[in-house]
Structure 1
Amino acid sequence: MTSKPQASGVTSNIMPLAFPRGKEKFCELCKREAYLQCTQCQVTFYCDAKHQQADWVGIHERICHLLVPIRSQKDIPDQAARRENQLRKTKLIEICRLVAQSKLSEGKHEEALPAAHCLLYTSIDVHGPNTIQLIPAYLLLAEANMGKR
């Protein structure tokens, strides 16, 4: 397993035998097939080093530690544990919103994109795909994309 150090984050090549059969991994930013994974949280994946670096600078450095309990506990039978996981996701939503807004106010539209993406995906997970709570995420994502031009 080779490590590829980035400016601040480290990724390693995905070892297919380490994951359940038929379970594909997708890039955090573009949703293409992933070949790299974050060596710190080991639950975030990337198609290439460029996307890993963009995510690290944009949001991942701040939320890496939060992702392990959220993403490793999919089917939680215990009601108290489910509630705790929802609280973590709500905290993640708030962090992503604040980071995306901060990056946009600094004029760093490209860096705001990963935070806006994470905000949208986590909001959909918490609130569902057709709710009014998604509007702030869509607005931040739109503003980040418009500023890239």
Structure 2
Amino acid sequence: MSAVLEAPPPALDPALAALVIRESALLDAWKLEEWLAMYAPVCAYWVPTEWDQASPHDTVSHIYDDRRLLETRVRRFRHAMFHAQKPPSRTVRLVTNLRAGPVPNSTLCSYEVAEFRNNRHRRYVGRATHEFEADGAGGWLISRKRFDMIDCDAVLDGISIIL
């Protein structure tokens, strides 16, 4: 019997791991402007409708936002007439199994968002991939976030929070 030797997984950069945790904390605290400041000027925030979907351009997505659309999303959340968040949701994000991602300067984790609003619980569970770029000042910005929900192809109510 021969053993198959696998290369050890790449080491997780602690600075990138800290950014994933910080992003979750800012979203749970509804500090949306601070959250948006974590994103690069050219970025993508993607929630596919197919498991292992290769491209956001081949089929519809639950969410596929660039920086401009993220800014619009934050403004809408702050608008007094945004009824999708009256009353506002309470959320808790769980980041587990955080590890180095599939490309350099990226992370992969198991990710859950628990939401409570209007006496109703909702859960969004899956895996999140974050890609980062240097910010020019020795830090990092999120250049891409992808959240693959395990039930991505199910019929879902409208998503009225940032995952």
Q: Same fold (TM over 0.5)?
A: no
Identify the structure with bigger relative contact order (alpha carbons < 8 Å, sequence gap 6+): 2
Q: Identify, as 1 or 2, the structure richer in strand.
A: 2
Q: Identify, as 1 or 2, the structure richer in helix.
A: 1
Using structure 2 for the length normalisation, give the TM-score: 0.29
